[in-house]
Amino acid sequence: MNKVELLAPAGNLEKLKMAVLYGADAVYLAGEEFGLRTASDNFSFEEMREGISFAHARGKKVYLAMNIIPHNNDFENLEPFLKEAVQTGIDAVIVSDPGMFAAIRTLRPELAIHISTQANTTNSASVRFWHEKGASRVVLARELSLKEVREVHESCPDIELEAFVHGAMCMSYSGRCLLSNYLAGRDANKGDCAQPCRWKYHLVEEKRPGEYFPLEEDDRGSFIFNSKDLCMIRYIPELIETGVSSLKIEGRVKSSFYVASIVKAYREAIDAYYGKEDYQYREEWFQEIAKVSNRDFTTGFYFHKPNEEDHNYGTSSYIRNYDFIGIVKGYDAAKGQVVVEQRNRFKIGDKIEMLPPQGPVREFVLTEMFDAGGNNLDIAPHPQMEVRIPSEPLPQDAILRKKS
């Protein structure tokens, strides 16, 4: 039995490395052109080469998102961009537009092409169309049920299918939205969405300008388009048994803490499914996921069409119960100190949780710490500073967090 792929987001080089170290089988990223997330750092070709080398050395794959909905002028730099991208060693490109697909097939016929969820593939006929044109994988639209995903696979068994397992949901069909363009002048289909679906809205009557009527009976407004986040950690067997080849985590603009925590939880759940016949879901996986900022959770379209329970009408704010405070970067054996790259404020007396790439979470109370010069610290206030903590060695690249 082929094991399902766990595919993780890589918004920058650090996130790519964390995704790989915490258990992803593959990552997807974007270069400085043609990708749909301008808010993420994205990759220069030099960074792409370094990241792909890191992933390939560990037996992992890297896919390049080129999934904008392009206009004529977007094709002008396609050939040199693609030539440079192929030289980095990418394993596949992700596209949504038929013209972009045709151009890449002509320029680089040997290159594997995945059809983006932005293409809104919701049926077997569309999957067969892309397969016949030469696509090696189709990323299904989020708007399919488990039953429909299974039917697509049974009808098209010779092409890989990819389905979302976790992350933000869009109020439009897989991102095809004009709200951002209209309200903020930022084109969602070019990767610059302002997320107006998360904004607060009131009703204004034409003849009474300036009088704002809340759509809900409170004083906070109404977030009428604001979906909860997709989370399928409780339903890994059901997803795998549809026949999909890859389970995709959304979140290239999220933090390294997000990538590490979410990947690790799904890695453990997937491995447990394949590890023994009497698979049992462990609630600790969900508890780990819930420690990362989120908008509460939904199962999307997999079991039913979303209703009022799948939306946050009261707020678009994230739920944040834990702060990401640092990453373990090394160990000074001579001094018996763990070297930490700080990300958020922490202080003596804090109860710290350490999330390693493999193995269980460990807890300790911080009783002593120093800066890089050996000076005692009571508080570590400045992100990105080096902090040293007397301790036995902790795993390289472990995440440190504390309750907010």
> DSSP readout, 141-159?
-TT--HHHHHHHHHH-TTS
Q: How confident is the model at residue 253 (pLDDT cuts 50, 70, 90)?
A: confident
Q: In the structure, what pLDDT confidence band is assigned to residue 174 with cuts at 50, 70 and 90?
A: low
Res 305: pLDDT: 80
Does the domain spanning 5-173+226-310 belong to CATH 3.20.20.70? yes
**Average of per-residue pLDDT across 368-376:** 94
Say which residue, 391 or 278, is predicted with more confidence: 391
Closest Cα partner for 302 from 145, 167, 170, 117? 145
| Least confident segment among 17-31, 100-114, 374-388 | 374-388
Question: What was the pLDDT predicted at 209?
Answer: 79
- Segment 109-128 shows an average pLDDT of 96
Name the residue with higher pLDDT: 191 or 46. 46
Q: Which of the four pLDDT bands, split at 50, 70 and 90, describes residue 180? A: low
Long-range Cβ contact pairs of 77-82 (< 8 A, separation 24 or more): 77/33, 78/34, 78/103, 78/104, 78/107, 79/107, 81/31, 81/33, 81/34, 82/107, 82/108
Helix (H) or strand (E) holding 399: strand 399-403
Provide mean pLDDT across the span 183-188.
70
pLDDT for position 221: 40
pLDDT bin (cut points 50, 70, 90) of residue 163 is very high
3 state SS of 368: coil
Q: Give residue 222's pLDDT band: very low, low, confident or very high (50, 70, 90).
A: very low
Tokens of 145: 């049920």
Sign of torsion, CA 76 80 82 84? negative
Per-residue pLDDT tens digits for 324-347: 999 999 999 999 999 999 999 999
Write down the architecture of domain 322-403 according to CATH: Beta Barrel (2.40)
CA distance 257 to 399: 7
| pLDDT number for residue 39 | 53
Q: What is the mean pLDDT of residues 98-112?
A: 97
Which has more confidence, 47 or 304?
Answer: 47
pLDDT over 50 (residue 236): yes
Which residue shows structure tokens 């969602």? 188
Kindly state the average pLDDT of the residues 149-173: 91
What's residue 219's pLDDT? 41
pTM of the model: 0.86
| pLDDT greater than 70 at residue 212 | no
Residue 220 is predicted with a pLDDT of 42
Fold matches, 5-173+226-310 and 322-403: no
Higher pLDDT, 342 or 2: 342
Residue 175: band (very low, low, confident or very high) from pLDDT cuts 50, 70, 90: low
Res 8 pLDDT > 80: yes
User: Is 201 a residue whose pLDDT tops 70?
Assistant: no
**Span 138-148, mean pLDDT?**
95
Delimit the domains of the chain by residue range: 5-173+226-310, 322-403
| Mean pLDDT (the chain, rounded) | 88
Per the CB < 8 A criterion, the answer to whether 51 and 62 are in contact is yes
**Bigger pLDDT: 211 vs 151:** 151
Model pLDDT, residue 296? 83
pLDDT of res. 17: 97
